Structure 1
Amino acid sequence: MKKLRLSWRLLRLAAVLALGALLAAGVSLLERLVRHDLMITRQRMTRWFLARLAGALPFRLRVSGELPDAPMLWVSNHVSWTDIPLLGLLAPLSFLSKAEVRDWPLAGWLAHKAGTLFIRRGAGDSSILGQQLGAHLQRGRHLLIFPEGTTTDGQAVRTFHGRLLSSAIDSGVAVQPVAIRYLRGGQPCAIAPFIGDDDMLSHLLRLLQSEVAEVEIQLLTPIVSNALNRNALARRARAAVSQALFGASAAPAASPREQQAA
């Protein structure tokens, strides 16, 4: 039964990826013909594709909160590569991802064609990155980043890096905090996290062999960015996500400077 389930899930996933490749190639060809950036079209098609990709994964999704009615900088805790299709099906989004993803077979190419922005850790290009993020937001496009800078096991929220949130302040857009968690039997899922030295193929096979897991996504109250500096904004966003996932005791108190800025 497990082998049959795995075979069916692999077949379904392969079909979705093939469809994604055709869509990406079609949009690329269309952009060459019209000589125009079709980012809005790419975001909408990416959302459609990610919804199909999420449907091919063994998850049962529950979403709470309201989708923002204006373009915002979305910030979320980060557990796994599966965060991307699960969050990406909610709205037309672009993502900021680590540069290594660009080299992943097929997935990296699809991410690039979907408009993903890539960051190389320690490359010293924070000013250029900030300009790229700001330009994206100023064009009225949703952008999602994972300000922890890495994935975790989902049982804590690491520090949010303030430099990644500067673009929201500079662009005058609000920050949309998002909390995501994976559960099995009401307990943190040990299979979903993509951490350490895990490789994509091994993690994918373990995931597809497993029973269906619960995924909870909470869209939290947006944070007005122009009243805070980048570090205060990062701390407030982290506190909101941490409190949503683990309760008030897990969320650090605001500093006097943050309270004054609010």
Structure 2
Amino acid sequence: MPRIRAAARLLRLFLVLALGLAMASVIALGERLGLSASIEQRQRWTRMFMGRLVAALPFEVQVRGELPQQPMLWVCNHVSWTDIPLLGMLTPLSFLSKAEVRHWPLAGWLAEKAGTLFIRRGGGDAQRLREQISEQLGEQRPLLIFPEGTTTDGRSLRTFHGRLLAGAIDQNTPVQPVAIQYLRAGQTDPIAPFIGEDDLVSHLMRLFAQDRGQVLIHLLPPIGSAGKERAVLAFEAQQAVHLALFGAENVEVAPRRQARAA
């Protein structure tokens, strides 16, 4: 039964990917004819694609909170590659992603066309990254980043890197904290996390062989960035996400030294 269920879900996923391929082909053809779509249009198409992708994933999704009514810098904890379609289906967004994603079949191409900013881990180009984020926000385009810099198993939260929030301060753009939780039978989902040396195919097979899990997306109150140091802004966002995920236990009262130096 699990194998049949996984096969049926994979078939649905392939149909969604075929839709994405068709969309990519239309965009590519338009570019060759000199009819390039605007970034806003591409973001809308990407949002539609991600909505279809989420529908093909074995999750029941619940969104708590209100979508922001103005462009913001979205910051979220990072558990899995599925975070991207789950959040991208909510509103037209661009993303900050690791450079490897650019080379993913289809998904990387669509991400680039939707305005994704790619960052090389350990690339040492902090100033260029700050300028890219600032430019994106200055053009009133909402951008989502994962300020932990890596995925976790959902049971903990890493330090938010303040350097990634500097662009919000440059543009006086509010920060939209988001907390994402994967649950199974009321407990932290051990299957959804995509960490370590895991590969995409193995992860998909594990997900699709199981019953549907639950995803809670918490859209938390925005945080103003005006006049704040980046470490303080990162700490406030981190604490807001921590509180939504784990309650008031172990909440710190001051930024960590790592955050201040970020």
Query: TM range, normalised to the smaller chain?
Result: over 0.9
The CA RMSD over aligned residues, in Å, is: 1.3
Letter in 1 for 2:239: A
Matches within 5 A, 1:174-189: 174-189=174-189
Q: Give the 3-state SS of the residue equivalent to 2:176 in structure 1.
A: strand
Secondary structure, aligned partner of 2:224: coil
Deviation, 1:35, is 5.6
Matched, 1:26 2:22: no
- How do 1:62-77 residues align onto structure 2 when only pairs under 5 Å count? 62-77=62-77
Cα distance in 2 for residues equivalent to 1:126 and 1:35: 34
What residue in structure 2 maps to residue 58 of structure 1? 58
Unpaired runs of 5+ residues, structure 2, are 256-262
CA contact (8 A) 1:137 1:143 kept: yes
Is residue 249 from structure 1 mapped to residue 249 from structure 2 by the alignment? yes
Q: Deviations over 1:51-73 (max 9, x none)?
A: 00000000000000000000000
Deviates more, 1:127-136 or 1:159-168: 127-136
Aligned twin of 1:233: 233
Residues 98 and 120 in structure 1, CA contact (< 8 A), matched pair in contact too: yes
Q: How many equivalent pairs are there? A: 255
CA offset at residue 254 of structure 1?
Answer: 3.7
Segments of structure 1 that go 5 or more residues without pairing to the other structure are: 256-262
How far apart in 2 are the matches of 1:174 and 1:28? 34
Q: Secondary structure in 2 aligned to 1:196?
A: coil
Greater mean deviation of Cα atoms: 225-234 or 66-75 = 225-234
The residue type equivalent to 2:39 in the other structure is M
Instruction: Tell me how far apart the structure 1 counterparts of residues 107 and 207 of structure 2 sit (CA, whole Å).
Output: 17
Counterpart residue type for residue 43 of structure 1: Q
Residues 112-141 of structure 1 show CA distances to partners (whole Å, capped at 9, x for unaligned) of 222211100111111111111111111111
Assess if the C-alpha contact under 8 Å between 1:236 and 1:254 holds in 2. Answer: no
Give the superposition deviation at 1:165: 0.3
Q: Distance in 1 between matches of 2:215 and 2:167?
A: 29
* Percent identical residues: 60
Q: Which amino acid is 1:173 matched to? A: T
Partner letter of residue 70 of structure 1? Q
In the TM superposition, residue 33 of structure 1 has moved relative to its aligned partner by: 3.1
Match of 1:93 in 2: 93
Q: Do the aligned partners of 2:182 and 2:216 also contact (CA within 8 Å) in 1?
A: yes
Counterparts of 1:220 and 1:163 in 2: how far apart (Å)?
A: 21
TM-score, length-normalised on structure 1? 0.94
**SS of structure 2 residue aligned to 1:63:** strand
- 1:215 aligned counterpart, secondary structure: strand
TM-score by length of 2: 0.94
The whole-number CA distance in structure 2 between the counterparts of 1:6 and 1:222 is: 39
Letter in 1 for 2:58: P
Q: Secondary structure at the match of 2:249?
A: helix
**Secondary structure in 1 matching 2:226:** coil
Q: State the one-letter code of the partner of 2:241.
A: V
